Amino acid sequence: MLERLQKIIARAGIASRRHAEQLILSGQVLVNGKVVTELGSKADPEKDKIEAAGRTIKGSDRRVVYMLMHKPAEVVSSLADPEGRKNLRNLLRGFPERVYPVGNLEYSATGLVFLTNDGDLAAKMLKQWDQLEQVYHVKIKGMLTLTDLERLGKEIGIKMQTLRQPDASRGHVANYWYEVRTKGAKLEKLRHLMFREHHPVEKVMRVGLGPLTVEGIPRGRYRLLDEGEAEELKTGKAAERKKRKRA
């Protein structure tokens, strides 16, 4: 079946769709030995020999991967870093497939990062990113009252509630953990808000991204979604079931 070249390249895990377009325009894509530089060009991955950035795409041999990773702090949530800092590639050593992170997680934060070589799903998730619920556990300096939680939550459009404190059994807790539910990129706004309120954020951990959860994944490790989980993620059924459960 004929498909756009940038879609084939992205699905093969060689590059994102945007980067795939740059590869086409720069003459780094060949179809059956001929350079293709026109965006919108199509090919059949099962019949045509497609090469991109020196790599040959074999449609029938490609393994589609959906991965959940528990990122440690001080790791860049990309596959490379111009400053030479540790990145996700360091945590993927030995993994045979090339996967890409969808979205971003702060350098200092820990928690869930979703990676895949399914370019279609990645593009869909990024397009709907502002509607995708993200759940964080946030440790701040000091303690907030219920009135504070409601007031601050309304100010930047998030939901905040107190978590059971990990250190509560050892006595008085000076700095508290809170669950933050938000949509879109509001983490930086939360940091500024907490600093203004004299309750600066000390630690951040993303525990949920849409229907995905970091639960059960040790820090610095990853797990692959099985076929059923992957299908639910693509169709949105997992999110629907999660909403019903919470209701």
Percent of the chain with pLDDT over 70: 91
Statement to judge: residues 175 and 237 lie in one domain: no
Does residue 90 carry a pLDDT above 60? yes
Angle among Cα 153, 156, 160 to the nearest 5 degrees reads 25
Q: For the segment 28-41, what is each residue's pLDDT rounded down to a tens digit?
A: 999 999 999 999 89
Task: Read off the CATH number of the domain in which 227 is found.
Answer: 3.30.70.580
Query: Which contiguous run of DSSP H or E holds residue 55?
Result: strand 55-57
pLDDT for 13 beyond 80: no
Q: Is the domain of 18 the same as that of 140? A: no
How many C-beta neighbours within 10 Å does residue 89 have? 15
Same domain, 196 and 225: no
Q: Is the pLDDT of residue 83 over 60?
A: yes
Beta carbons of 159 and 138 less than 8 angstroms apart: no
Per-residue pLDDT, averaged over 45-70, amounts to: 84
Residue scoring higher pLDDT (47 or 207)? 207
The predicted structure's pLDDT at residue 168: 54
CATH of the domain at 179: 3.30.70.1560
The overall pTM is greater than 0.85: no
Mean pLDDT in residue range 1-30: 87
* Helix, strand, or coil (residue 179): strand
Please indicate, yes or no, whether residues 20 and 87 belong to a single structural domain of this protein. no
Q: Are residues 227 and 164 in the same domain?
A: no
Residue % of the chain over a pLDDT of 90: 60
Looking up residue 37, the CATH number of its domain turns out to be 3.10.290.10
Give the pLDDT band (50/70/90) at residue 166: low
Rounded mean pLDDT, 92-107? 88
Which domain does 71 fall in, by range? 66-129+211-246
Residue 240's pLDDT is: 53
Mean pLDDT of the chain: 87
Task: Identify whether residues 111 and 77 lie together within a single domain.
Answer: yes
Per DSSP, the residues of 127-149 read HTGGGSEEEEEEEESS---HHHH
* Confidence at 47, pLDDT banded by 50, 70, 90: confident
Pairwise CA distance, residues 74 & 71, whole Å: 9
Does residue 137 sit in the same domain as residue 122? Answer: no
48 and 147 together in one domain? no
Tell me, yes or no, whether 140 and 197 share the same domain. Answer: yes
DSSP 3-state of 218:
coil
Residue 116 confidence (pLDDT): 93
Task: Output phi, psi for 173, to 5 deg.
Answer: -105, 125
Quick one: 48 exposed, middle or buried, by C-beta within 10 A (0-12, 13-18, 19+)? Answer: middle
Domains: count for the chain: 3
How far apart CA 90 and CA 99 sit, in angstroms, is 13
Residue 30: what pLDDT? 95
**178 and 234: one domain?**
no
145 and 197: one domain?
A: yes
What pLDDT does residue 191 have? Answer: 92
Whether 76 and 88 share a structural domain: yes
